[in-house]
Structure 1
Amino acid sequence: MQYRIYKDNVKIKETTSRQIEITGLKPKTSYTLGVSAYNGLRESTRATITMTTRGLVMIVDKALQVGSEVTFEYVEYPFGVIPIGTEPTGLFGGGNRQTLKGNVVSVANGQSRVELKTSFDKLSDELKLETNLQAPGENLVVNSSNFENLNGWSSNTSGQPHLRTHSFWKNDTQNLMVLSNRTKNEVTVGSARFRVKPNTNYILSFSGFHNYALASYDVYFLARMHTSKSDFTQAILPIASQKLSISGVVNKSVVFNTGNNDEGYIRFDNNATIADGEWADLYLADIKVEEGTHATPWTPARQDIYGTNQLDAGYSGFDGYKAIYLK
């Protein structure tokens, strides 16, 4: 005896087996399935059943309340995560941001299974959302090149830093951040604070140069645990008392380890002028901090693209160039 299998009144298979697997179903979608007997000449009356598939399940590395509703934010990062020029059509610069709702269906071993309430199908099922997760190549430094303002940066000296163009950089058409000093005391500028993974290698990369009067410069990662009320509890010094060039742009990169810290910020120090009263100028652009030991081309930070750095609430998952955050 043969059986004809139907999905939404469309025959999808003929089989002699009493069990079949139906693939290609979408999450959280209703289907009418039917089966009829067929002897090669005549077909029996079709028996039907209507069923609804479950939604995609996200695994959150956190114990949530069973039965509660949670909110996720879905975002696509086509550049900075995959090579520039290979983004899906129409997605350069990001897009397809969506807010998703889900129900917590179970909790075990400190992890929660959350079923999405819609037919959303752009992520892998049972994708895990972990704390302090960053996309490969994601720049953690906000407002780090092509400067229109100095938002996110702060200095120990009034009037510093400032913006200026220079013939060494983009044919004098794009602003650099300039840290100037005409004293024997250091002048510093620090980035906005960002989250990192403890005891993990990150790489700092930037482009820069300086004029003849610069004595030297330092770069610190000033780190702490996010629960600390101190500005920083550990000063990590990836670059100490170095120079770049007075004749052109230098592309610099250096690896550092975060130690037992989960957040911090980058600080550049202009250590002094070598000539009293003469301005020592340190020019900086394309500043990037990313996880790993290999520097990738500069890209804007998430906040620069989407206008917020408050998406992840500490828990995020990545599936290729697609990301989901627990709000």
Structure 2
Amino acid sequence: MSESSGRDGVATVNRVLVGICAVLAVAVLVLVVAFVNLARSGGEEAATGEGVVGDGGVVQDGLHGGPVENATAAQVSVIRLSDGKRRGTASERYARPALSLAKLYIADYVLDHGTVSQRWEAINMISDSSDAAAKDLYTAYPDSIDATAEKYGLESTRSGEDWGYALTSTYDVATFVARVLDDDPTSPILVAMARAADVAADGYEQDWGTALLPGTIGTKWGWSNDRDLHSSVSFSEDFVVAAAVTGSSEDLTELVEDRIKGIGSWIGDDAVDHIDADTSKDGSEDNSEDKSGEESTEKSGDRSSGESGKKSGDKLDDKKSDSKKSGDSKKPEGKSNDKSSGRSGEKKSPEKSSAEPSAKKDGK
């Protein structure tokens, strides 16, 4: 009797242990499923909290299939034109306010579908960054940004309720400029970028960010009305580079300097490693003048003779003087030949009236 009771006790313990193991197995399975779902959702990504990583690493919104918005993460994207290879920050595909970079997308569409007068307006809009022109053209062609995004495969780019609320990424805008360069090196868009006005239609100086890289031929800038967001995209014969930051224009220049330094040999131009951010805003004498006495004096004289001089063009001439960009290069026709180390101080602003800027919060 006691032996039977012992066996019954052992059987009961075994059943309890089996039950416990079953519960633990279910718990482990639940945890595994939870972790898998968490990995798919990407956690609390950026501003939406619903991000998933799509094909090619494009961060998309899990609910709508659109890009995750992240207006705060700094971005830098570089494309080497010799073979199309790329480098960029981990955040380069996040969608953030396009600012005036959206005008590139609008202009591309208008050049294909607009009237003659609208095409001229689009070209001038790139040069002087007129918000009034952007408003006119976007009102006429509200599908222009989305159509351009589809045309070039810009997966983080989408329109908003108005042009100033469009989204893009440095990855997308660099892709766009590189594609335009490949399709037509003398595209009106590229020429307009190369002949950008020293001062935009709203009075803001255009002399910072990626434009300060040596060898730069053309640039498009963007900034918010409150000056809290800045971005730019530039091209040269060797590269396309785009950058965006939450901060001032000086912050963007410092970001470019920090992230680009050291990849000159990869791009194929070591001078790229020597960007000097000290003249990015105030037009003061650049520090590189100390490197060569006579040349420094000559540069200083040129700047003080009435030209705007705020640009970085002169400061890197000692690095590129033997390889100035000329009309027989890949450079868009009609632009100044003094582009080898930045934008020329002698270029002409497009003959476009300075229209009143839009009151949109983030639409410069």
Give the alignment's TM-score, normalised by structure 1: 0.24
Higher helix share: 2
Higher strand share: 1
Give the alignment's TM-score, normalised by structure 2: 0.22
Q: Flag the structure with more relative contact order, 1 or 2, with Cα contacts below 8 A and sequence separation at least 6.
A: 1
